[in-house]
Amino acid sequence: MELLAKFSNYRFLPAGYFSYDAADEVINYDPIRLKKTNGKISLLHEISHCELGHFHYRYDMELLMMEVAAWNHTKKLADQHGVHVNEAYIKDCIESYDEWVNRRGSCPTCDNFCLEYKESRYNCFVCDTRWQVSPEPQKRIQRRIIA
Ligand SMILES: [Zn+2]
Ligand SMILES: [Zn+2]
């Protein structure tokens, strides 16, 4: 628990997962996994989101940028607090977001990669297909073609 004590300015809530709840300004953590290095890294990652002021994002690409920034900050915090950084684990986490952005942004008709034209909505600039994705990042990726 000594890691939590070093961040006494934050509110921590034991839960079965790690997440930063910006609305309630609470960092949820998994006390069991916190005993292991990856759990400590996960905690520092959520603290990083909080320290970097990641309260809200609108676009998938923004979320990806936030993740990359948060992981860079996590490495700094880990250094400061003597937590071993598993580079492969961090790379995996970033890659999974990268893949998520790619899958949501790939046109269901022609597979061309596009950026959102508004929140959760895409319009392919090659074939003009429009589709929409779930605004919830944790949801399974479903691209629904819209007229
Ligand atoms: Zn994150
Ligand atoms: Zn297309």
Same domain, 131 and 65: no
CA of 119 to the centre of ligand 1 (A): 19
CA of 122 to the centre of ligand 2 (A): 10
Tokens representing 95 are: 């890659």
* Blockwise average pLDDT, block size 10, the chain, 147 residues: 87 93 89 94 95 86 92 97 92 91 95 94 96 76 75
Number of domains into which the chain is organized: 2
Same domain, 92 and 120: no
Same domain, 52 and 7: yes
CA of 104 to the centre of ligand 2 (A): 13
Q: For residues 32 and 59, give the distance between their C-alpha atoms in angstroms, rounded to a whole number.
A: 33
Distance (Å) of CA 69 to CA 25, 45, 109:
19, 10, 32
For 50, the domain range is 2-105
Same domain, 78 and 9: yes
Q: One-letter amino acid identity for 131?
A: W
Looking at residue 138, its pLDDT comes to 59
Same domain, 82 and 118: no
Indicate the pTM of the whole model: 0.84
Residue 136's contacts (CB-CB under 8 Å, 6 or more residues apart) are none
